[in-house]
């Protein structure tokens, strides 16, 4: 009897330990754009995530962790499924855990209207808008099926959000086409009162799987990000009430200051894929991370057949991802800066190298940027608070004491 009780306790403890704190709901695969690098094959597949399935996922996550968590509504283009979004927030508002949930929507920005702005404000939804550059040249991969660049429509959408006082995070995929133009995005953000930016890695999968040479080299990325650091430090020192932050730099600095805490799932080792983070596709398949959506090798299970708890306890995908860490990757194991680095994104490592147990190609960048930041901070040449949001400060879309964009 005692053994049974102990086994149950261990089972529960393991299940709770695996509780996700950030989930992505793929609202639809349909998209009105055809970005040439889209990792999730956005396009004409018009399936929409069934509302009852979305709610089952969210209810199960809530029951698993009992803590604040974040829901990201992704696509395709989520603003194409108005009925789903309206139904989803209405259903969410009836849940007793509603106040511990942060909801964000990730949109291409081309369909934003006054009505959407009012919807985001009413439901306290944080909005991420994708923009790779402020010229047609640097935003060249983000086009309509007609090949028309989406830049003007995105800027129009951002203006509507601004007029309505909606907080926005600009998301940029950094490629060798825009890496030397990142300061233009910072200037644009400043001119529009946008204070949150995310410069993400290009992942060569989906439509982008044949575009591997779009990745900037570690040296090029380091030189570009050093300029970003300098720009942010100058701007943020001079404008203490309208500071601008770039999320990945912000978390990197926090990892340098406090390597034990690992607040951000992508910089943790192992990363959060399959444990702190899960993504639900329109057909009920749960993936370890939204970057893996559509890849059967990283499907954790299907919500039509299993509960989330069952999946997380039994999935070999979860075990495989949990086994990837700086201790299991030879180069990382011997690396002096591994307390501050995760070995890079697991998905990026996999789609570039074909295996998980190898460092991601961003290694060269981290090997330059981490010592640079560390020296700057420890020699007191750089005030780290100029680059990192206070962990309990303002967050996009946060309506409770949750963790906002802290995945």
Residue in 38, 127, 308, 347 binding ligand SF4, rule: CB under 6 A: 347
- CA dist 262 and 341 (Å) reads 10
For ligand SF4, give the closer residue by CB, 140 or 358: 358
Q: Does 61 bind ligand SF4 (CB under 6 A)?
A: no
Q: Does 64 bind ligand SF4 (CB under 6 A)?
A: no
For ligand SF4, give the closer residue by CB, 154 or 289: 289
For ligand SF4, give the closer residue by CB, 23 or 79: 23
Residue in 101, 249, 256, 265 binding ligand SF4, rule: CB under 6 A: 265
Q: Does 126 bind ligand SF4 (CB under 6 A)?
A: no
Strand ranges in 214-261 using DSSP code E only, listed in sequence order = 245-246
Peptide bond between residue 270 and the one before it cis (omega within 30 degrees of 0): yes
Q: How far is the CB of 103 from ligand SF4 (least distance, A)?
A: 19
- Which among 178, 177, 170 has a CA at the least distance from the CA of 195? 170
Site for ligand SF4 in 288-307 (CB under 6 A): 289, 291
71 burial level (CB within 10 Å; 0-12, 13-18, 19+): buried
Q: Does 359 bind ligand SF4 (CB under 6 A)?
A: yes
Handedness of CA 243, 172, 368, 269 (dihedral sign): positive
Q: Residue 170: phi, psi to the nearest 5?
A: -90, 130
169: left (phi over 0), alpha (psi -120 to 50) or beta: beta
Q: How far is the CB of 42 from ligand SF4 (least distance, A)?
A: 17
120 burial level (CB within 10 Å; 0-12, 13-18, 19+): buried
Q: How far is the CB of 90 from ligand SF4 (least distance, A)?
A: 30
Site for ligand SF4 in 173-202 (CB under 6 A): none
Q: Does 345 bind ligand SF4 (CB under 6 A)?
A: yes
How many other CB atoms are found less than 10 A from the CB of residue 309? 18
- CA dist 341 and 38 (Å) reads 26
Site for ligand SF4 in 323-342 (CB under 6 A): 326, 331-332, 335, 337-338, 341
Q: Which residues bind ligand SF4 (CB under 6 A)?
A: 265-266, 271-273, 277, 289, 291, 326, 331-332, 335, 337-338, 341, 343-347, 359, 363, 366-367
């Amino acid at each position: 009897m005692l053994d049974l009780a102990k086994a149950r306790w261990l089972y529960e403890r393991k299940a709770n330990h695996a509780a996700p704190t950030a989930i992505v709901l793929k609202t639809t695969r349909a998209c009105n754009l055809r970005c040439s690098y889209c990792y999730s094959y956005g396009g004409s597949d018009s399936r929409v995530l069934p509302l009852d399935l979305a709610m089952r996922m969210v209810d199960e996550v809530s029951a698993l962790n009992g803590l604040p968590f974040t829901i990201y509504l992704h696509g395709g283009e989520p603003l194409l499924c108005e009925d789903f979004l309206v139904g989803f927030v209405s259903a969410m508002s009836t849940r007793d855990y509603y106040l511990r949930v942060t909801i964000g929507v990730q949109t291409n920005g081309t369909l934003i209207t006054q009505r959407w702005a009012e919807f985001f404000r009413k439901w306290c939804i944080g909005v991420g808008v994708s923009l790779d550059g402020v010229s047609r040249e640097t935003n060249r991969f983000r086009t309509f099926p007609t090949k028309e660049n989406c830049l003007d429509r995105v800027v129009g959408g951002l203006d509507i959000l601004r007029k309505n006082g909606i907080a926005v995070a600009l998301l940029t995929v950094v490629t060798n086409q825009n890496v030397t133009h990142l300061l233009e995005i910072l200037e644009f953000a400043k001119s529009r009162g946008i204070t949150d930016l995310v410069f993400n890695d290009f992942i060569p999968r989906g439509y982008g799987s044949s575009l591997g040479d779009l990745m900037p080299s570690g040296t090029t990325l380091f030189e570009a990000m050093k300029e970003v650091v300098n720009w942010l430090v100058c701007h943020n020192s001079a404008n203490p009430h309208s500071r601008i932050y770039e999320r990945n730099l912000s978390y990197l600095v926090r990892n340098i200051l406090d390597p034990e805490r690992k607040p951000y799932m992508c910089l943790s080792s192992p990363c959060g894929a399959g444990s702190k983070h899960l993504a639900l596709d329109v057909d009920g398949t749960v993936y370890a991370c939204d970057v893996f959506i559509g890849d059967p090798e990283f499907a954790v299970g299907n919500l039509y057949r299993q509960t989330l708890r069952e999946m997380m306890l039994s999935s070999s995908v979860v075990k495989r991802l949990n086994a990837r860490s700086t201790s299991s990757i030879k180069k990382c194991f011997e690396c002096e800066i591994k307390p501050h680095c995760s070995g890079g994104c697991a998905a990026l490592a996999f789609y570039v190298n074909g295996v998980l147990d190898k460092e991601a190609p961003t290694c060269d960048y981290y090997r330059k940027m981490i010592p640079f930041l560390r020296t700057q901070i420890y020699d007191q040449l750089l005030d780290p608070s100029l680059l990192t949001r206070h962990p309990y400060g303002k967050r996009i879309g946060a309506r409770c004491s949750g963790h906002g964009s802290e995945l």
